[in-house]
């Protein structure tokens, strides 16, 4: 029954993310695309604009779709969009911060406001309603996961398994990456980890690679979304490369230091995880900004644009041999 609750919560997260994306699209439409095109004159400005876009669109899947939409509809290259996405990854951590404020306890109020707004005729109110409804479903799912985690505390076999896995941070990181890909939301993935940690099933040593893996999962989502185009592939592989380098440094060299940092952060485990998630993405973004031109040149060399040969049907020339009359 506990696993049924967790599976139901995961489905609820997926529904919530769908409502959130639909509502944001109804509210902003192509406005974000136009703003990104106009306000990304340099990488630092692009990073700031990305942070704002992440605050407005607090969904890793929505950011991936928006990035590919910008690449397809504007003249911006993956080199400039790298700064935007790195900033957006900082912006979307606000949702995890909201979880740390225990705003998920107001899930019922969010659902009530969202559901009531859907009965109004104006598009703006329906958009707001879908945003509130989506957030309400996500927060409700986090509460369900947290409650299920407390019930799982009695399972000694599961506690033993998780303690063994904790000795292999790379497995935890990769597993969290694919969990984020499956859930289409780094917030949901981190929220699941926090819920299990609050029930005593996960330690801070596991939460560090879990949080980093959730951040890497955004790159996997972008890779699938952008595989069809050259610039999309460059953007996705660029984000994956930058974040993988950061993950390599933390997991191979600084894991004890990162775990100690997480424990030194103020607040309970949910607040500590939210702050660590924001600090990790902020450090990766600011650290990579001066190197983005070099990264893009490397990506352009690895993923080269091939000219598409026009396929023309062979022309058949017919000669008419006639006699002049």
**pLDDT higher than threshold 80 for residue 111:** yes
Helix (H, G, I), strand (E, B) or coil at 303: coil
Q: What is the reported pLDDT for 35?
A: 67
102: phi > 0 → left, psi -120 to 50 → alpha, else beta; which?
left
At which residue do the structure tokens 């460059």 appear? 234
Q: For the segment 11-41, what is each residue's pLDDT rounded down to a tens digit?
A: 887 788 778 777 877 776 666 666 666 666 6
Nearest residue to 81 via CA among 26, 31, 39, 29: 39
Among the listed residues 199, 96, 82, 74, the one whose alpha carbon sits nearest the alpha carbon of residue 147: 199
Which pLDDT band, with edges at 50, 70 and 90, does 310 fall under? very low
| Contact present, 25 and 145 (Cβ < 8 Å) | no
pLDDT at 232 over 70: yes
Identify the band that residue 66 occupies on the pLDDT scale cut at 50, 70 and 90. confident
Q: How far is CA 218 from the centre of its chain?
A: 4
CA of residue 196 relative to chain centroid, distance = 20
Dihedral angle computed from the Cα positions of residues 224, 230, 233 and 235, in that order, rounded to the nearest 10 degrees: -130
Gyration radius (Cα) of the chain, Å: 23
The whole-number pLDDT of residue 191 equals: 78
- State residue 63's pLDDT score: 74
- pLDDT (0 to 100) of residue 213: 92
Helix axes 269-288, 204-226, angle to 10 degrees: 50
The model's confidence at residue 59, banded by pLDDT at 50, 70 and 90, is: low
Q: What is the mean pLDDT of the chain?
A: 78
* Rounded CA separation 157/161 (Å): 6
Q: Alpha-carbon torsion 30, 183, 280, 83, what sign?
A: negative
Confidence label for 315 from pLDDT (cuts 50, 70 and 90): very low
Q: How many CA atoms lie within 13 A of 77 on its CB side?
A: 13
Residue 301's pLDDT band (cuts 50, 70, 90):
confident
- Tell me what pLDDT residue 319 has: 40
For residue range 117-172, list pLDDT tens digits in order.
888 878 788 888 888 888 888 888 877 877 776 676 667 777 777 778 878 889 99
pLDDT band at residue 324 using 50, 70 and 90 as cut-offs: very low
Please enumerate, as own/partner, the contacts of 226-234 that have beta carbons within 8 Å and a separation of 24 or more: 226/64, 226/67, 226/68, 226/71, 229/68, 229/71, 229/72, 230/303, 230/305, 231/71, 231/77, 231/78, 231/81, 232/68, 232/71, 232/78, 233/303, 234/78, 234/79, 234/296, 234/299, 234/300, 234/303
**Pairwise CA distance, residues 273 & 208, whole Å:** 8
Cα end-to-end distance, the chain, whole Å: 96
- Residues making up the chain, counted from first to last: 325
CA angle 31, 37, 42 (to 5 degrees): 135
| Mean local confidence (pLDDT), 66-81 | 73
The reported pLDDT for the residue numbered 271 is 84
Q: What is the pLDDT of residue 284?
A: 92
- Residue 246 main-chain phi, psi, to 5 deg: -65, -40
Q: How high is the pLDDT of residue 29?
A: 62
Determine the Cα angle at 162 with ends 175 and 184, to 5°: 30
């Amino acid at each position: 029954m506990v696993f049924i609750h967790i599976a139901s919560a995961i489905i609820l997260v997926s529904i919530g993310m769908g409502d959130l994306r639909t509502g944001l699209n109804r509210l902003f439409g192509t406005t974000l695309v136009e703003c990104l095109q106009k306000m990304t004159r340099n990488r630092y400005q692009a990073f700031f604009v990305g942070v704002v876009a992440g605050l407005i669109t607090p969904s890793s899947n929505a950011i991936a779709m928006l990035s590919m939409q910008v690449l397809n509809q504007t003249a911006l290259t993956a080199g400039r969009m790298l700064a935007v996405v790195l900033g957006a990854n900082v912006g979307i951590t606000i949702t995890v911060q909201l979880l740390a404020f225990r705003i998920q306890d107001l899930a019922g109020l969010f659902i009530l406001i969202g559901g009531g707004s859907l009965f109004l005729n104006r598009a703006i109110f329906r958009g707001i309603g879908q945003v509130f409804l989506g957030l309400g479903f996500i927060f409700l799912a986090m509460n369900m996961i947290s409650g299920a985690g407390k019930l799982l505390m009695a399972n000694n076999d599961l506690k033993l398994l998780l303690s063994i896995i904790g000795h292999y941070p790379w497995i935890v990181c990769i597993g969290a990456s694919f969990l984020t890909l499956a859930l289409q939301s780094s917030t949901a993935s981190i929220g699941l980890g926090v819920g299990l940690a609050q029930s005593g099933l996960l330690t801070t040593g596991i939460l560090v690679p879990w949080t980093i893996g959730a951040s890497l999962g955004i790159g996997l989502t972008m890779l699938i979304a952008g595989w069809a185009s050259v610039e999309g592939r460059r953007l996705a592989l660029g984000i994956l490369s930058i974040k993988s380098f950061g993950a390599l440094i933390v997991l191979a060299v600084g894991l004890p230091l990162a775990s100690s940092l997480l424990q030194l952060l103020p607040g309970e485990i949910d607040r500590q995880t939210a702050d660590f998630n924001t600090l990790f993405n902020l450090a990766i973004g600011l650290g990579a900004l001066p190197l983005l031109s070099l990264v893009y040149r490397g990506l352009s060399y690895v993923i080269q644009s091939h000219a598409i040969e026009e396929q023309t049907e062979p022309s058949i020339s017919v000669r008419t041999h006639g006699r002049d009359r």
